[in-house]
Structure 1
Amino acid sequence: MAFPQHMDRTEQRIVGALIRKALKLGYLVSVYDGQEGALRKSSDYEAITAEVAATDETTLRFRLSIGKGLVGSVWLIHGNAEDVICDHTDNEAIAALVEGVF
């Protein structure tokens, strides 16, 4: 796992499960660290996790691998342990994505 050393282990488990689930569904993941787009449309687990928690918040944006459709976003607030997933797009696809990763 390429998460930063300073990232809480509980958060690593939850965010790692979220990213693996998204990749298994065929989503591409973009990482926004609250200041800049750190990574765009990636399917590389190690590259994605390396960019998570660079600042105190991370937004993960999920897109369909075929076409350019945005599925939705998940907002992470680091330092909240099991409550790292702070908010997410209110649609069926993202609700299903975050379900069970806590």
Structure 2
Amino acid sequence: MAFPQHMNRTEQRIAGALIRKALALGYLVSVYDGEEWALVKADDYEAITAEVAATDETTLRFRLASGEKIGSVWLVHGNEDDLISDCSDNAATLALVEGVW
């Protein structure tokens, strides 16, 4: 995994499961670090995880290859098991986060 060293194992497990699930569904992942979009429409697990936890919060946005937006998940670092703080309220995003924490 390419998560930053300062990110704790619990949060790595949850974020990793979420990202792997999204990629398995064919979603592209964009990473917002609270200041800028550090990565846009990526499908490379290592590149995505390297950008997670650059600041104290991360927003992951998920899209289909066609560009259609699936939704977003807001991660607040330091919350361990409660890493996933909020997400888009739609069926696809709720299914994505279900069971990853």
TM-score by shorter chain over 0.5: yes
Per the shorter chain, which TM-score range?
A: over 0.9
Partner of 2:36: 36
Q: In angstroms, what is the RMSD of aligned CA positions?
A: 0.3
Query: What CA distance in whole angstroms lies between the structure 1 residues aligned with 2:9 and 2:82?
Result: 13
Question: Does residue 22 of the first structure (1) align with residue 22 of the second (2)?
Answer: yes
Structure 1 CA distance for aligned equivalents of residues 77 and 34 of structure 2: 12
Q: Which amino acid aligns with 1:33?
A: D
Aligned to 2:99: 100
Distance in 1 between the 2:56 and 2:8 partners? 12
How far apart are the structure 1 equivalents of 2:91 and 2:8? 28
* Matches for 1:46-65 after TM superposition, within 5 Å: 46-65=46-65
After TM superposition, the runs of 4+ consecutive aligned structure 1 residues lying more than 4 A away are none
Unaligned runs of 5+ in 2: none
- The equivalent residue for 2:73 is 74
Matched residue SS, 2:59: strand
Q: 1:68, 1:61 → 2: CA distance?
A: 11
Letter in 2 for 1:64: L
Secondary structure, counterpart of 1:21 in structure 2: helix
Q: What percentage of residue pairs aligned between the two structures are identical?
A: 75
Give the total of aligned pairs.
101
Q: Give the deviation of 1:68 after TM superposition.
A: 1.2
State the secondary structure of the residue aligned to 2:61: strand
TM-score (norm 1): 0.98
Distance in 2 separating the partners of 1:93 and 1:49:
21
Question: Unmatched 5+ residue regions in structure 1?
Answer: none
